[in-house]
Structure 1
Amino acid sequence: MALAPLLPAAAVAVESLKVDAALPYVCALPSGPQPATVRITAAFPERASVGEEIRPADVTTTVELPAAAVADLTALKAAEVRAETALGVVAGQNGQETQAVWRGTAQPAGVPAEGPLALTTTGDVPVVTAGAPGDLAFTAGSLDIGLALSTADGTPTGPASLSVTCTPDKDAEEGGPLATVPVAPGPSTGEPGGSPSPSDSAPPSSLPAPLPAPAPAPSGSRDGGTPANGLPRNEATGPGAERTPGGKPAGAPEAADTPPGTPTDRDSVPTCRNEQATPTTLTSYITGYSNVRKLNGANVIPVSCVFIEQGQPGIEFRPDGMHVVQKSDASLFYEGRKQTPPFKATFLTFGFAPTTATLVLEQVGPMSVESDMLANYPVYTSDAYVRAPLVLRVLDARVNGTLLDVGPSCRTEKPLTSPEPDPVKYPGDHLVLHGEGRQVIPDPATGYQLTSGGALTGEVTIPAFKGCGAGGENLDRLFTASISGPGNYIKQIQGQTCSAGLEDPPADQCTEDRQPLVIPKPER
């Protein structure tokens, strides 16, 4: 359902559930973290059936910013403010979760001389279609607020905009509950409860059914660089990688080598087609390497699909020149779920036990791509940051060929974490990847660009594991001791994007069925 098109809201059914929730939040303001109240009103259907669209209607988001926020605005000589909001809303059912973004805009409002400031935004929101029976719960998450500021005579202030990130108050458990919609079985389609048959792929707007039983990794997701003992020794060429005197990571092939099993054709990569693409939607494939420092090796990040909904660019004038900033929303996509395809990793655990595991990376919150370009003609330089809350889940494992029953809930206890350059603006646990770009007119651009892709790098801490084991056997400490820890370098390669929502997508970007044409290869 993430990044579904913002269709006009349908009329509310006769039987509807009215929601009016006032939730405590903490907003990161220039003056520091400040408490705020976020009031969300909406109308949900009282009940639904499997396969039936659930469309919240009459949605409003009112943010009451405290007096300290007003003081920040008046210090910038702002007399009028225009607000846009992006509220992350989690939909959970049967132990599975996915997230949508509820966007809204507000009419211009005057900035008071003192006291609080209430800003109310409205907008249509994505629909949700449940793929299984059971209670479907909606919970409010983080809130991003964009404020466009102007002075009394209508000219932009300096800076002309302000971005504020608000998160649910830490004392509010599980975020802010909004509504629960019971979902009954739909018409039978050959499966219990009216669920689609296994051959039917869930649309992007569907809530994923529970995870299937562990399956082999898809073709092309194996490790490469196999030495004589049959175990991979791939190392990403970043901090923490062991190097030979020649500078190449120990055991790694030359940079030009393509790892065995790297996808090179359309049949060996997951589908990356966004059925709800808008003119601002991009689709792309990503892949790469991630070091596992404790195991003295690295693993291929499988070719994965990502949907990107481009945000509106803004212009900021700073002492070093004019900056063009843009924040876009992104979402992993694999068979209707916000995750990578399952992939296998093989290492020598504790230096002697060959261990193979089937893993997935699951997105558990909003992912963003934020770019900042400094335009000093003829030189343009840019920095891009990808922020993604990802949980590492273990589907199955074998030690020395013997199946190890990890149970259905083996995963890291929290998302992977990276050093965050702006922790006040971006609190919480998430992965951070950074890319740099440069262009000297009239030469072509080099490095990372959102549309043309490129390399993004970062360093991640793998948290401790929880929920591992079955039949009373607790394997949490085994996985934590083997894998968890800091200093794991990541190098991700993004391919050329496809403007999937255009009426006539460029042939050098997209296939005939509007999937990304370029399948990138991992680089060390």
Structure 2
Amino acid sequence: MRGHRAAAPRLPRVRARTSAIGAFVVLAAMVPAAVSAAGTQEADVALPYVCRLPSGEQPATVRVTAGFPATAEAGRAFTPTGVTTTVELPAAAVADLARGRAAGVRAVTRLGVGIAQGEAAAEATWRGTARPAALPASGPLTLTATGEVPSVTARVAGDLAFSARALDLDLALDTPDGTAADPAALTIGCSLAEDAPERGLLATVPIGPDPGPPATTPASPTPSVPAPDGGSPGASGSPHAPNEQTGQDGRDDQKGRAPTVTERAPRGAATRRPDAPPCRYDERHPSTSASLNAYITGYTNVRKLAGASLIPLSCALIEQGPTDIELFPDYSGGYLTQHSQGTLWYRGEPRTPPFQATFLTFGFVPTKATMVLEQTGPMTMDGKGETSFVTQFTKLETRIRVPLVLRVTALEVNGTPLDVGTGCRTRSPLRSEEPEPAKFPGDHLVLTGRSSHQPPALPVGYLLSSGGPLTGEVTIPAFTHCGGKGENLDRLLTASVSGPGNYVKQMQGQTCAVQVFNPDQCTKDLQPLVIPVPER
């Protein structure tokens, strides 16, 4: 990441919390009121895009369909309906994806949408999930994604224009035998082609004057999008941070007329759910001003069994470190680093809740195992990246390392329980290939998340404070101390499960800053509000 500046002299580091970094953004939002439109208009627009794949740029066609109100009123929120984003990648792009033995793809789309009313503007992200698709033997690949999108509130009367902007495709690649593709996951960035008609215009909604206060509850406190350094939610040091009063870039010349974009609660979010384990600080693990908590979940492949095991919904307690900034020689930006620590937490112990997985051992014997992941040392979270104070573009990579021993507490083979004893576990922690072995000795599961951010768009990818996807590959060690009453099941479990090449995808939810209460991120008893949904 530092190659192009290797010869530059090193300047003093600046240590700061999120509020000191000018490249970061806060989005304002308000509780939406229901809108009854006089009618609807249907948008169905096909647009040319250029997508950046490993082999180079490839053309693509993106078709967006959505329903908009025929008219709306200032001060009243409305939400586009039936939003579908269909991406057609050419055969050359399919060949790119297939080079790493991939045979299928699972896709998530993130379409930037510009919302403009005269000179006032805002930006929204329309997210969608596509059904798993097989890579075609020839011809293009078509991915059709659907999902809920943010609501929009116009402040004044006048035409409100919606236009397509940049598109990101998050792809998970599958192989026929369940092993990890190379790469196992890929994000493809796509830009609107220069010859796109009407600059990507999707629809225009005429906005009438404000009829008066809507019949709804008072607006909630403004939620914030966490800063890209994984800093405390709600902080921003940008002199042009967007807010309800000043619009997209914080300048007061728009006189508060920019449209407001209100993100919908993530799917799976709830104040409490019966299957969500407790996730709170207590006297055994007291909180500090840097304490965060979050839920995690996901899937891990078990290569030998050609299947995947669900990582149970688990609690992570995080002590967030400060962000260091090493300024560039020209003071145009700087390198960012941050070191944080965390622990899994379940019933006062550093582990996950028990979870079950069922597989066909040796391809035909149904086997059900009950397991727990136990943390045996510190969980470290190291972020590094760089930011430009000129362009406000920030890119970050976060690497999480955690030593985890897999313990088997119960085993059932073809309906018959087998006694595994009380000490059945892997000989050592799960092991990933460590890119910096000298700096981080020992066996760890290593997961990596990446993000980029350029206002006014929302940050894309994984951030420590707002969560997102983390991926990696793990080796499952041999098992030991498995078996009771004179039986030895070590070899059976080792032959069935142990080995390299097990792809992991973990989803972390939005954190709760327990000493800075935000009702959009925390429950009243200071547990994480957002419950992430596992993705394969």
Verify: 1:506 aligned to 2:501, yes or no.
Answer: no
Corresponding residue for residue 302 of structure 2: 292
Higher RCO, 1 or 2 (CA under 8 Å, sep at least 6)?
2
Distance 2:491 2:399 in 1: 33
Measure how far apart 1:424 and its partner are: 1.2
Distance 1:238 1:277 in 2: 48
Corresponding residue for residue 306 of structure 1: 316
| Aligned ranges 1:305-384 → 2 under 5 Å | 305-317=315-327, 322-376=334-388, 377-384=391-398
Measure how far apart 1:517 and its partner are: 0.3
Verify: 1:398 aligned to 2:412, yes or no.
Answer: yes
Measure how far apart 1:266 and its partner are: 1.7
Give the direction of change, closer, same or farther, for the CA distance of 1:241–1:425 in structure 2 (3 Å limit). same
Partner letter of residue 503 of structure 2? Y
Contact kept in structure 1, 2:102 and 2:174, CA below 8 Å: no
**3-state DSSP of counterpart to 1:267:** coil
Corresponding residue for residue 481 of structure 2: 467
Match of 1:492 among 483, 506, 509: 506
Measure how far apart 1:238 and its partner are: 13
Partner letter of residue 373 of structure 1? G
Give the direction of change, closer, same or farther, for the CA distance of 1:517–1:383 in structure 2 (3 Å limit). same
CA displacement 1:446-487 (0-9 Å, x = unmatched) = 111111100000000000000101122111111000000000
Verify: 1:426 aligned to 2:440, yes or no.
Answer: yes
Measure how far apart 1:248 and its partner are: 5.9
CA displacement 1:394-444 (0-9 Å, x = unmatched) = 000000010010000000000001011111111110010000000012221
CA displacement 1:22-63 (0-9 Å, x = unmatched) = xxxxxxxxxxxxxxxxxxxxxxxxxxxxxxxxxxxxxxxxxx
Count of residues paired in the alignment: 285
| TM-score of the superposed pair, with normalisation by structure 2 | 0.50
**3-state DSSP of counterpart to 2:360:** strand
CA displacement 1:122-150 (0-9 Å, x = unmatched) = xxxxxxxxxxxxxxxxxxxxxxxxxxxxx
CA displacement 1:184-227 (0-9 Å, x = unmatched) = xxxxxxxxxxxxxxxxxxxxxxxxxxxxxxxxxxxxxxxxxxxx
Identity of aligned residues (%): 53
Contact kept in structure 1, 2:103 and 2:135, CA below 8 Å: no
Measure how far apart 1:513 and its partner are: 0.7
Tell me the C-alpha RMSD between the 2 structures.
Answer: 2.9
Measure how far apart 1:268 and its partner are: 1.1
Distance 2:11 2:494 in 1: 48
Give the direction of change, closer, same or farther, for the CA distance of 1:159–1:418 in structure 2 (3 Å limit). farther
Give the direction of change, closer, same or farther, for the CA distance of 1:391–1:274 in structure 2 (3 Å limit). same
Distance 1:373 1:421 in 2: 16
Partner letter of residue 304 of structure 1? S
Distance 2:531 2:99 in 1: 23
Distance 2:303 2:99 in 1: 11
Distance 1:483 1:358 in 2: 14
Runs of at least 4 residues off by over 2 Å: 156-161, 237-252, 262-265, 316-321
Structure 1 gaps, min length 5: 1-155, 162-236, 253-261
Give the direction of change, closer, same or farther, for the CA distance of 1:263–1:518 in structure 2 (3 Å limit). closer
Partner letter of residue 529 of structure 2? L
Contact kept in structure 2, 1:394 and 1:411, CA below 8 Å: yes
Measure how far apart 1:373 and its partner are: 2.7
| Aligned ranges 1:78-227 → 2 under 5 Å | 158=11, 160=13
Corresponding residue for residue 281 of structure 1: 291
Distance 1:465 1:421 in 2: 26
Match of 2:402 among 364, 375, 388: 388
Give the direction of change, closer, same or farther, for the CA distance of 1:373–1:326 in structure 2 (3 Å limit). same
**3-state DSSP of counterpart to 1:266:** coil
Give the direction of change, closer, same or farther, for the CA distance of 1:240–1:423 in structure 2 (3 Å limit). farther
Distance 2:403 2:102 in 1: 24
Corresponding residue for residue 269 of structure 1: 276
Measure how far apart 1:159 and its partner are: 6.8
Corresponding residue for residue 191 of structure 2: none
Give the direction of change, closer, same or farther, for the CA distance of 1:465–1:447 in structure 2 (3 Å limit). same
Contact kept in structure 2, 1:240 and 1:487, CA below 8 Å: no
Partner letter of residue 284 of structure 1? A
Structure 2 gaps, min length 5: 1-8, 15-97, 105-133, 137-172, 179-267
Contact kept in structure 1, 2:269 and 2:530, CA below 8 Å: no
Distance 1:444 1:399 in 2: 48
Corresponding residue for residue 197 of structure 2: none
**3-state DSSP of counterpart to 1:421:** coil
Partner letter of residue 518 of structure 1? V
Verify: 1:437 aligned to 2:451, yes or no.
Answer: yes
Give the direction of change, closer, same or farther, for the CA distance of 1:510–1:444 in structure 2 (3 Å limit). same
Contact kept in structure 2, 1:263 and 1:303, CA below 8 Å: no
Give the direction of change, closer, same or farther, for the CA distance of 1:436–1:285 in structure 2 (3 Å limit). same
